[in-house]
């Protein structure tokens, strides 16, 4: 890989050759992929990328840690729409607002970006089986992307995972273990099984390549804005891999001279489960918390990638903000009604946090902001109904309908 120098431990600084099945540092620290930005700058331009007809995350190969002949996995991941939303901008009281709908990925979440990368690296490394633990979306996206590429999967999910996500896993032919325990216990079981059976590891904090897949959402936002960067990017945070990836993506572009600015990152967690935000705000080491929010994808009490996440908030001059479950349900309604985008609870939590900051006057009126919708609401229809309520129930009788209509339009 000419564009990659090495893998470097974020805890002790030790460097490693970028082997496709690298995991964590000997010290237990998480690795980071270190690029040769001079090489990228000398060999690629923004126009090279903009003129690509590969409308997937793989159009960003100059910024991806893969060999020249690494095969692009089959599912069409990435290049999700960035919708400009002027009515929403007005409501929020900001100059420009865009919604990046990553629920439109093939298995309906941003996790497809990591899974596509994981599958590519597993094949590069010569594995035929890949495994992960997940609150739900990493699992369903791995199962789908691996199925399309002809790999076997072992998946560990906590028993609370919504049925829509479990249905995806089963349809994609994964061996699914529904663990009678919380996410932390699920993660530990998957780790033990992976160690024992030697499968390729798609656990986001352990496999440092996955964040490189996730960062493509940031590369896309910049390209879709004409290689411009918004003032703020808001998203939900669980393990911390996504926010770490978003920050890495914007820094990559900046370091390679593709953009001339960096955004501030708005990290949104639940008031009940916010170990990353709490640490970012206080400067103290993070502490485990209960897993207690209906936004299952970010119900993470023991985050697996806290350091990169906390760094993304602090280094970007960003804002940590916490929201209640009611505010998340409200964001589901608002995003649906104003933008026509149906996000799962964690999918719109970024939006919920942004709304809160705008209400509190913490975002300047001349700001430009992108909120990322990280997952699709059809995965979790029970919470959709909870947010939006029941339909009008009526006999097939026009008289009765007229009465209802008049009541509605009084
Ligand atoms: C995984 C996930 C997140 C959070 O990503 P982390 O890397 O765990 O911080 C947010 N929203 C959705 C829909 C997710 O699936
Ligand atoms: Zn180390």
Quick one: three-class SS letters along 302-360? CCCCHHHHHHHHHHCCCEEEEECHHHHHHHHHHHHHHHCCCECCHHHHHHHHHHHHHHC
pLDDT at 211: 97
pLDDT at 203: 87
What pLDDT band is residue 160 in, cutting at 50, 70 and 90? confident
pLDDT at 316: 98
Return the higher-pLDDT residue of 164 and 233.
233
DSSP 95: S
Residues with CB under 5 A from ligand 2 (ion): 9, 11-12, 14, 25, 27, 29
pTM (two decimals): 0.96
- Residue where the block lists tokens 């974020």: 10
* Strand, helix or coil for residue 224: helix
Position 363 in a domain: yes
Would you give the distance in Å from CA 208 to the centre of its chain?
Answer: 15
* Strand, helix or coil for residue 185: helix
**Residue 365 pLDDT > 90, yes or no?**
yes
| Average of per-residue pLDDT across 217-243 | 98
**Residue 204 pLDDT > 80, yes or no?**
no
Q: 140 CB less than 6 Å from ligand 1?
A: no
pLDDT of 162-194, one tens digit each? 888 899 999 999 999 999 999 889 989 999 999
Neighbours of 130 (CB within 10 A): 29
Query: What is the CATH classification number for the domain harbouring 214?
Result: 3.40.50.1100
**Residue 135 pLDDT > 90, yes or no?**
no
Question: Rounded distance, CA 166 to CA 322, Å?
Answer: 28
What would the two tokens of residue 195 be? Answer: 């160690």
Q: What separation in angstroms does the CA of 12 have from each of 15, 55, 206?
A: 9, 38, 16
pLDDT at 119: 97
Residue 355's domain spans which residues?
82-107+210-388
Residue from 242, 311, 332 to probe ligand 1 pocket by mutation (most atoms less than 8 Å from CB): 242
| Closest ligand by atom to 132 CA | 1
Asked if 75 and 114 count as a contact pair (C-beta separation under 8 A), the reply is no
Position 201 in a domain: no
Return the higher-pLDDT residue of 212 and 203.
212
Ligand 1, residue 214: give the atom nearest the CA.
7
Position 102 in a domain: yes
Question: Rounded distance, CA 339 to CA 351, Å?
Answer: 12
What pLDDT band is residue 45 in, cutting at 50, 70 and 90? very high
Q: Kindly give the distance from the C-alpha atom of residue 20 to the centroid of ligand 2, in angstroms, as a whole number.
A: 18
Sign of CA dihedral 44, 45, 51, 53: positive
Closest to 101 in 3D by CA, of 388, 348, 357, 385: 348
DSSP 203: -
Position 193 in a domain: no
Q: 344 CB less than 6 Å from ligand 1?
A: yes
Position 22 in a domain: no
Closest to 203 in 3D by CA, of 151, 139, 298, 247: 139
Position 56 in a domain: no
Q: 353 CB less than 6 Å from ligand 1?
A: no
Position 60 in a domain: no
Position 315 in a domain: yes
Residue from 110, 344, 350 to probe ligand 1 pocket by mutation (most atoms less than 8 Å from CB): 110
What would the two tokens of residue 5 be? Answer: 């120098």
**Residue 161 pLDDT > 90, yes or no?**
no
Q: Kindly give the distance from the C-alpha atom of residue 374 to the centroid of ligand 1, in angstroms, as a whole number.
A: 7
Q: 297 CB less than 6 Å from ligand 1?
A: yes
Number of folded domains in the chain?
Answer: 1
DSSP 226: T
């Amino acid at each position: 890989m000419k564009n990659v120098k090495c893998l470097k431990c974020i805890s002790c600084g030790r460097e490693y050759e970028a082997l496709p099945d690298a995991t964590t540092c000997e010290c237990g620290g998480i690795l980071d992929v270190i690029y040769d930005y001079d090489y990228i700058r000398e060999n690629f331009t923004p126009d090279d990328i903009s003129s690509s007809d590969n409308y997937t995350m793989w159009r960003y190969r100059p910024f991806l840690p893969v060999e020249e002949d690494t095969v692009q996995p089959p599912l069409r991941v990435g290049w999700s729409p960035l919708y400009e939303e002027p009515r929403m901008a007005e409501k929020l009281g900001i100059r420009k607002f865009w919604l990046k709908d990553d629920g439109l990925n093939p298995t309906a979440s941003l996790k497809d970006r990591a899974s596509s990368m994981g599958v590519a690296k597993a094949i590069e490394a010569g594995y035929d089986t890949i495994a992960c633990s997940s609150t739900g979306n990493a699992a369903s996206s791995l199962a789908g992307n691996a199925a399309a590429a002809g790999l076997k999967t072992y998946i560990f999910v906590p028993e609370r995972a919504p049925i829509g996500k479990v249905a995806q896993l089963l349809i994609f032919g994964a061996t699914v273990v529904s663990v009678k325990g919380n996410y932390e216990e699920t993660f530990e079981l998957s780790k033990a099984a992976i160690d024992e059976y030697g499968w390729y590891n798609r656990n986001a904090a352990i496999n440092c390549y996955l964040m490189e897949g996730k960062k493509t959402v940031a590369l896309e936002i910049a390209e879709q804005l004409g290689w411009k960067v918004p003032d703020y990017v808001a998203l939900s945070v669980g393990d911390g891999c996504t926010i770490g990836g978003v920050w890495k993506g914007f820094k990559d572009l900046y370091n390679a001279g593709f953009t001339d600015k960096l955004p501030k990152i708005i990290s949104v967690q639940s008031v009940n489960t916010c170990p990353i935000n709490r640490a970012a705000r206080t400067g103290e080491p993070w502490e485990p918390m209960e897993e207690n929010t209906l936004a299952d994808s970010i119900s993470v009490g023991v985050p697996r990638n806290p350091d990169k996440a906390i760094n993304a908030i602090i280094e970007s001059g960003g804002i940590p903000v916490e929201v209640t479950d009611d505010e998340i349900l409200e964001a589901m309604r608002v995003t649906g009604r104003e933008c026509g985008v149906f996000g799962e609870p964690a999918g719109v939590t970024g939006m919920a946090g942004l709304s809160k900051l705008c209400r509190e006057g913490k975002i300047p009126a001349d700001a430009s902001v992108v909120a990322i919708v990280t997952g699709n609401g059809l995965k979790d229809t029970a919470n959709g109904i909870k947010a939006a309520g029941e339909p009008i129930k009526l006999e097939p009788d026009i008289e009765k309908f007229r009465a209802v209509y008049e009541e509605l339009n009084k």
